[in-house]
Structure 1
């Protein structure tokens, strides 16, 4: 989320927390598609991380983008840390290690997602190229150690950086070395939200396999196809994972609120200041029992901020956020929204997808999620390879997009954006497997060529 919310009304009842989520309900005619993607900046010369400071730093890049786009700057303690498009709703923000994120505006079709992406890349290039900055489309930085990566000047990241090592092995890697592409989709009722949440949670490992793109750590194969996905398995299990309660009877907004109330907080924002409350629950804060802010009650802003620090494989806010995919090069980015829109925004495809996953148990879903970072398409559930299920889902998504019938100016529907995924299924190899073949072949055991071949 680009801006930490600004509604400072103190909360009186749990019903308000539920109502905040419920306000996301929209009629189908108003369903939108939001796509967020992160990319790693690197110096064109030497392929090094880009610092925030200096004439050729990330700060200068954001200043240049501000002048070019006329977007509102997001400032923190005198530093520009992002940009916000007042008219369209898009935003540019920085992840902890300088990963450059476009949070796309809510659009109606995947064609518009593609147009937005192409415009963004042209704009970024115009400013970045003279600064000697390129961008990499991988799920994880392939050659840098964590120590090499500069820290962006954002207060919330300082708090997270101190807290992460207490709760998992890979939290700092998640913050500083990973990139993702995400799709945000709407729901028309509580029942529709629950159905979409269940289907997308169960099938998130398919997106992980189709987009697996992080097989290298510090210049060497790391033994995984999506090390980014592996990182999330040991980042902070109190706030991430496959949320099995979503499949239990009685699931709805209230059940998610009860889950979120017990997730440990990171921070509370007051004015310009981020107050470290890490490890304490929102439930205690809600009861006025936060040790750092005794007697103080949370606001709606605090609630919205807190929900944005929960990281399950699919996240509920006022929309559903698909979180299972590695960052990929630009040509493959629109395939992610296309895949999920075809499955979730077409009722026949959604029903058919539910039929695929409805008999899976929580331990089976978890085992699949645990196996997919290493085995990709070769992971299994019940007696099926993930590859077969991915193939089936791609057919369903394709059919869903055809039935949606959103046509571009050349008369093509959105199913054309699935082509990169169809090629992956044809070859039977995930992007990471293709990259490992290059590493062991033409790249001669070096990851440096990735900075050309997988750059934006």
Structure 2
């Protein structure tokens, strides 16, 4: 009788070389996790400013000290720092709008208090007007990102160092067709996107390439490389369309196995990397881990990560400004009646804009330039905000949230305005003598 020998450990599939079919299966299997919509999340990015002299850039040491004070807090949300020093709070997935809002609000209160002790404040603005733009974080990822983006112009650095948003995350939806089906919600997210850009535009530019735009942040995203920030075609099956889009987008960078700079190849799509094994570019074959990382370097206006991540909304002014896009987006996706109203409104709006994909079609361009001054966008926004307001009581929204949405609707939407039109919101960023850098 021979001695029993333990079986060898299973190989870690994350580190195995991928086949093209394997890569397609992985993306196809994770992009849309379907089921009845029940979870909501929000990611809030903020500029960190000096409380008394907000028009001046902060010294890196002082900004870093503020970040460390915030990191030391015990928070429910995930706190991260963007390359330019923007602070981001990402909520845990919440089972209701109330849970999402209450968790983020408690964490925001704690962060604001910690920063206030150091003479710092959070400010909701889609584009930082202060100059020069500086990168605070020094890491192989951000070094590689800048190298990649610099090949196509300055938009990449502006996005990394000077932009801030409210990102709202909703479930992908049901597998079956209907107002809450994932195919309808995927299409709604892209059609509604231009209305959200216009209604929440809060990055006005008074000079430079986006002079006169209400949402200069969207201009920056529009000027990134053509596939990385582009929506996939919406006329096909969503999983197949996203899988093709993801694999046919260029690889931004290849992580080093040890300390050292990451490789930034030229003109290599992920599909090419799989097919060639990287030999033509002096690379090793890609693994599932590489594919997972590649997906994090794609920045379309709506990103499928199992759930849908809506990325087109500017950071909002005021302490409670972030409540409105969070609540309105939730209502328009997760209340069946509001979802149907929103879909009909934006479908009619977008029928005349051809097949160019977001954000590079005429409608998105108009939304970024004019906000709700465009009469068609104003009409669609009015219908959508009315439907959201009617849905919020059905969704159990608090009086505070409902009042915030109603106040925003009355102040901006019904009047064809957006926060960028409200120049008084941005006066604290201006030098009192008029010498500061204007947004």
The one of 143, 149, 153 aligned to 2:130: 143
Q: Structure 1 residues 294, 431: closer, same or farther in 2, change over 3 A? A: same
Shift of residue 237, structure 1, vs aligned partner: 1.6
- Give 1:37-436 correspondences, 5 Å limit: 37-47=44-54, 48-52=56-60, 54=61, 56-58=62-64, 60-69=65-74, 90-146=77-133, 149-190=134-175, 192-216=181-205, 222-243=211-232, 245-246=233-234, 248=235, 250-270=236-256, 273=259, 275-279=262-266, 280-291=268-279, 294=282, 296-329=284-317, 330-358=319-347, 360=351, 361-363=354-356, 366-379=361-374, 385-403=376-394, 405-406=395-396, 408=398, 412=399, 415-423=402-410, 424-435=412-423
TM-score (norm 2): 0.82
Shift of residue 319, structure 1, vs aligned partner: 1.2
Shift of residue 169, structure 1, vs aligned partner: 4.5
Counterpart Cα distance in 2 of 1:371 and 1:242: 17
Question: Conserved in 1, the CA contact under 8 Å of 2:228 and 2:299?
Answer: yes
Question: Conserved in 2, the CA contact under 8 Å of 1:394 and 1:422?
Answer: yes
Q: Structure 1 residues 271, 46: closer, same or farther in 2, change over 3 A? A: farther
Count of paired positions: 409
Counterpart Cα distance in 2 of 1:429 and 1:344: 23
* Aligned match of 1:3: none
Question: Conserved in 2, the CA contact under 8 Å of 1:44 and 1:132?
Answer: yes
Shift of residue 198, structure 1, vs aligned partner: 0.9
Shift of residue 393, structure 1, vs aligned partner: 0.9
Counterpart Cα distance in 1 of 2:356 and 2:249: 22
Counterpart Cα distance in 2 of 1:27 and 1:364: 27
* Aligned match of 2:6: none
Counterpart Cα distance in 2 of 1:129 and 1:18: 49
TM-score (norm 1): 0.79
Shift of residue 315, structure 1, vs aligned partner: 1.4
Q: Which 5+ residue runs of structure 1 have no aligned equivalent?
A: 1-5, 70-84, 452-456
Shift of residue 328, structure 1, vs aligned partner: 1.2
Shift of residue 336, structure 1, vs aligned partner: 1.1
Counterpart Cα distance in 2 of 1:212 and 1:154: 31
Q: Structure 1 residues 289, 156: closer, same or farther in 2, change over 3 A? A: same
Q: Structure 1 residues 32, 270: closer, same or farther in 2, change over 3 A? A: farther
Counterpart Cα distance in 1 of 2:313 and 2:377: 15
* Aligned match of 1:79: none
* Aligned match of 2:9: none
Question: Conserved in 1, the CA contact under 8 Å of 2:197 and 2:314?
Answer: yes
> How large is the Cα RMSD of the aligned pairs?
3.3
Q: Structure 1 residues 367, 322: closer, same or farther in 2, change over 3 A? A: same
More deviation, 129-138/204-213? 129-138
Question: Conserved in 2, the CA contact under 8 Å of 1:50 and 1:98?
Answer: no
Question: Conserved in 2, the CA contact under 8 Å of 1:159 and 1:278?
Answer: no
Question: Conserved in 1, the CA contact under 8 Å of 2:332 and 2:339?
Answer: yes
Question: Conserved in 2, the CA contact under 8 Å of 1:212 and 1:325?
Answer: yes
More deviation, 16-25/95-104? 16-25
The one of 26, 31, 35 aligned to 1:27: 35
Q: Structure 1 residues 152, 169: closer, same or farther in 2, change over 3 A? A: closer
Q: Structure 1 residues 227, 319: closer, same or farther in 2, change over 3 A? A: same
Q: Structure 1 residues 209, 65: closer, same or farther in 2, change over 3 A? A: same
Shift of residue 428, structure 1, vs aligned partner: 2.7
Shift of residue 179, structure 1, vs aligned partner: 0.7
* Aligned match of 1:75: none
Q: Structure 1 residues 16, 292: closer, same or farther in 2, change over 3 A? A: closer
Question: Conserved in 1, the CA contact under 8 Å of 2:230 and 2:357?
Answer: no
* Aligned match of 2:10: none
